[in-house]
Structure 1
Amino acid sequence: MDMKIGQTMITFVHDGEVRGDPQSFFPGSDWTAHADLLDDTGQAVANVGSFLIRTDAHVILVDLGLGPGGALLDNLAALGTSPADVDLVLLTHLHRDHVGWAGAFPRARHLVERREWDFWSACPGGVGPDPERVLPALAGDLGFLDELPAGIRAIPTPGHTPGHTSFLITDPGTDERVLVLGDLLHTRAQFDELAWQFRSDDDPARARRQRAGVLTRFRDGRTVLAGGHFAGDAFEPPAPRPAVRGASAL
């Protein structure tokens, strides 16, 4: 799964997947209108992986998947990218399924929102980064989002976690752009079902407001929305601003 905007190539690199009861993922959700997003047994499917961004100046990963046991490194190798090629890792947040390969990229500087780092440094474990394996690996070459390279802008989207961040990717050769959502949306069903709460949302009401704001701002006819947990293709083509159920309650 890849796309090119100008001279920037963006590829979703699969690490693994998670399947489960959709109402466990989204408590109280009704999937009647979204049965096409479930597998043949009625389970929800969530991909897990990283977005590889290749420019003339950088080889970048956004998020680091599940970690050892996953397929990320093998799939990067199939694309001709070795761990030593990656010079920058951007982290949307520090849940364990987004930081699993921390320490695998020896040249990479790791950038994360400062509040996100401060929160999980004080409250490690659980759904957050492993305090013995992941946190020290990240801390080894850690920076914050004031160091982003040209062509990438941080879009604050807190709610799923305290410092959750989405990343807007642009290229001077085109008006088209890509917004890597992180866990702002976990499924395409949330384009319609803004009120659905994911089970690990830290602040569900804030997360809903962020979803509404992002869809209002970026479903603008020129922005591709990239969801690392979307089943199937990670890239949602540009679309005009829709009338979405649940927006009036936000």
Structure 2
Amino acid sequence: MNSTNTGQLAAQASIRTLTRADVRLTYIVDSAMAFSPSRFFPSVPAAYWQQTPGLLDDAGRIPMSAGALLVERGGRTLLIDTGLGPISKNPLGVANSGSLLETLDFVGTQPADIDTVAFTHLHIDHTGWAFTPDTEGNSRPTFAQARYAVAREEWAPHARGEIVPDEPHGPLFSTLSDDRLVLVDNGEEVFPGVKALVTPGHTAGHASYVIHAGDERIIVFGDAFHHPVQITHPEYGSEPDLDSAAVPPARRIILKELEAPGTLGFAFHFGDHTFGRAERNGESELVWQPVPSTVLGPSPREV
């Protein structure tokens, strides 16, 4: 039986869904991951993890699931990011991955149903299922009917033929036809009621997506934030950040949007606190406040 709750931060993400106006949002969980606090967040004081209970799992690690957000509106379907893919290696921690297609099937959606895939950025844990081998071993788009949307600034290094760290699937996007690879600019609509918010920093053209649903908005902020502590302290970086100096200003742009009335956020990596708001606490600090959503099923993977 489905339940509605906020989940726990120190847990792998459940398969969760939330409906606002005419939009249904579902976290399509692909993998369970867990990372060392000191390695993934080298700028966060060690005392923070020791003095703040409920942040780490029983092994002293930070749970960070990966997956995709399914956006359904008016009979059309958008997928934001495509998870880590069927791999188990991660240089910064542990991963057990590969459930995205099964999770899609679990919620009643097939790859051919997706008409647009929008990427926040091209790191492997967000592009893992973008392509899959065919019977002859050639990589083909997993979502055969979909356009693949990428921020123009994110694609620029690949267009120049550069090898970008942590983006092994990047060159495969160049195999897409001109009508399949859609380059988007800041503020451009990628799907009905969904616009890109491009804020370089974590990568060359990292994009959040702002989903308009009636009088509300949902901001899918990708890897602009990896943990709720960065909502409160945008100066705390993450090890994979490409341009550490550009990350705090990028986060402040997103935080200003998250603070606007009627705005929710969606986090890929915040444990099982998937949906939430950025709110001021008694000390006027911004904090991540999880909001209830419906649990359709548990995490398909564990670490």
Paired with 1:149 and 1:18, the residues of 2 have a C-alpha distance of 30
Paired with 1:42 and 1:35, the residues of 2 have a C-alpha distance of 11
Structural RMSD (CA) = 2.1
TM-score by length of 1: 0.89
Corresponding residue for residue 34 of structure 2: 19
Corresponding residue for residue 291 of structure 2: none
> Quick one: percent identity of the two aligned structures?
33
Select 1:123's aligned residue among 158, 162, 166: 162
Corresponding residue for residue 110 of structure 1: 148
Say whether residues 1:158 and 2:200 are aligned partners. yes
Q: Secondary structure, in 3 states, of the residue corresponding to 2:251?
A: helix
Q: Secondary structure, in 3 states, of the residue corresponding to 2:245?
A: helix
Say whether residues 1:77 and 2:95 are aligned partners. no
Corresponding residue for residue 209 of structure 2: 167
Structure 1 residues 1-250: aligned runs within 5 Å: 1-30=16-45, 31-68=49-86, 70-102=98-130, 103-121=141-159, 122-124=161-163, 126-130=165-169, 134-136=172-174, 141-145=180-184, 146=188, 148-171=190-213, 174-237=214-277, 239-240=279-280, 242-244=284-286
* Contact in 1 for aligned 2:122/2:169 (Cα 8 Å): no
* Contact in 2 for aligned 1:221/1:239 (Cα 8 Å): no
Q: CA deviation at 1:186?
A: 0.5
Paired with 1:236 and 1:147, the residues of 2 have a C-alpha distance of 23
Cα 1:168–1:5 change in 2 (3 A) is: same
Paired with 1:209 and 1:32, the residues of 2 have a C-alpha distance of 28
Structure showing greater relative contact order (alpha-carbon pairs closer than 8 Å, 6 or more residues apart): 2
Aligned length: 242
Is 233-242 or 23-32 further displaced after alignment?
233-242
- Structure with higher strand content: 2
TM-score by length of 2: 0.74
Counterpart amino acid of residue 22 in structure 2: Q
Cα deviation digits, residues 91-141 of structure 1 (max 9, x gap): 011011111111211101000111211213433353113366x43565672
Query: Which blocks of at least 5 consecutive residues in structure 2 are unaligned?
Result: 1-15, 88-97, 131-140, 288-303
* Contact in 2 for aligned 1:178/1:225 (Cα 8 Å): yes
Counterpart amino acid of residue 35 in structure 2: G
Q: Secondary structure, in 3 states, of the residue corresponding to 2:270?
A: coil
Paired with 2:34 and 2:246, the residues of 1 have a C-alpha distance of 26
- Structure with higher helix content: 1
